[in-house]
Amino acid sequence: MHRDGRRGERYSDGSLDATARIVDAGADSDDERVVEAALRPKRLAEFPGQARVRDQLGLVLEAARRRGSVPDHILLSGPPGLGKTTLALIVAAELERPIRITSGPAIQHAGDLAAVLSSLDEGEVLFLDEIHRMSRAAEEMLYLAMEDFRVDVIVGKGPGATAIPLELSPFTVVGATTRSGLLPAPLRDRFGFTGHLDYYDAHDLTTILRRSAGLLGVDTEEAGISEIAGRSRGTPRIANRLLRRVRDWAQVHGSGHVDLEAAHQALRLFDVDDAGLDRLDRAVLDALCRRFGGGPVGLSTLAIAVGEESDTVETVAEPYLVREGFMVRTPRGRAASAKAWSHLGLPPPRDLATQDPLPLHEGPGRLGG
């Protein structure tokens, strides 16, 4: 199989390319990360949305500055693309301290973590992205380091091994996670401040898009910006990506301005509809309604119907469909809501019943097959 290089297209066998979606909240490539870095706000005062977390974090940082001490360790949780990395960089900027960036998957041994911690300068910020993916041995070393600014280095092996304490310069950990429930309680308890980032509303997204358009040198009209915001799934990373594609269409086919016509045409080209659904999302709903009468239907059966792996449907398409009320997860499987039938332009069955949904916080599960 091969990809044709475009987001959300199909493999040569006809299956959907779910790993490269324009509405994927993950960073797509090194090039996109470079663009993201240029668009990031640099200070808390520039950070749009998330007002409660922003104000709380601002208080913590200002108090630490006035005391002349390092602030409490900070844990930021929430879905991808909402600004956790940006806030970590802002923490360092507000404190006027350097930041060291690494990730949970990069720290699989206690020695890896010890090397990083022992090289930190006083007051330095250590950003641990995907902190829930650290190894257990590294987690246990981090407990002591966060609590007492000390690590125990094991010298020797077997019964003769000796733990030698190594004092560390005071530092601040900023941890980021999309799955805070996977963090062990002893690690969570060592964070003095915890902030959860939620999806953005349309007003905050339009603010972000206006700022990004200015930095990109793109002329915009309010209707075009609003249209992009409404299809961005509450996620700034997706909003900025869609803005760049609409800009491209406007420069090649339009007037050069990001207006309503450019937004409509570009987003139609990239298969993002007015609800923010892409081809994979619609394929799942279409199969659920047309082939299975709205369900409930088991996950594996639904996945086969759209030519995808069960994990792809469960982790890539399902979260947004459930969050927006297009799909319901029930003990008997997945079911389409009245909203799904309406979105597809199909009449709902007369016996469409209200399903008893499972709580979203339970996360993905192998329900109904």
Report the amino acid identity of residue 346.
L
What 348-353 contacts at long range (C-beta under 8 Å, 24+ apart), as own/partner pairs, is 348/294, 349/293, 349/294, 352/294
Catalytic residue among 86, 172, 177, 178: 178
Is 178 one of the catalytic residues? Answer: yes
Q: At what angle do helices 30-39 and 202-216 cross, to 10 degrees?
A: 100
Question: What b/e sequence results for 159-190 when a residue is b if at least 16 CB atoms lie within 10 Å of its CB, and e otherwise?
Answer: eeeeeeeeebeebbbbbbbbebeebeeebeeb
Tokens 């309680």, residue located:
185
CA-based nearest residue to 153, from 108, 117, 185, 122? 117
Close Cβ partners of 160 (under 8 Å, ≥ 6 residues apart): none
Is 86 one of the catalytic residues? Answer: no
**Strand pairing report for 125-129 and 172-177:** parallel
Catalytic residue among 237, 241, 329, 334: 237
Instruction: List residues bridging with 196 in a β-sheet.
Output: 77
3-state SS string for 243-287: HHHHHHHHHHHCCCCECHHHHHHHHHHCCCCCCCCCHHHHHHHHH
Question: How many CA within 13 A on the CB side of residue 300?
Answer: 4
Q: By the 8 A CB rule, do 252 and 289 touch?
A: no
Is 52 one of the catalytic residues? Answer: no
Catalytic residue among 129, 204, 271, 281: 129
Close Cβ partners of 311 (under 8 Å, ≥ 6 residues apart): none
Q: CA–CA separation, 359 vs 68, rounded Å? A: 44
Is 129 one of the catalytic residues? Answer: yes
Q: CA–CA separation, 20 vs 3, rounded Å? A: 9
Is 237 one of the catalytic residues? Answer: yes
Q: CA–CA separation, 137 vs 259, rounded Å? A: 53
Tokens 């119907």, residue located:
305
Catalytic residue among 85, 177, 206, 235: 85
Q: CA–CA separation, 348 vs 335, rounded Å? A: 12
Catalytic residue among 84, 133, 245, 282: 84
Q: Which residues are catalytic?
A: 84-85, 129, 178, 237
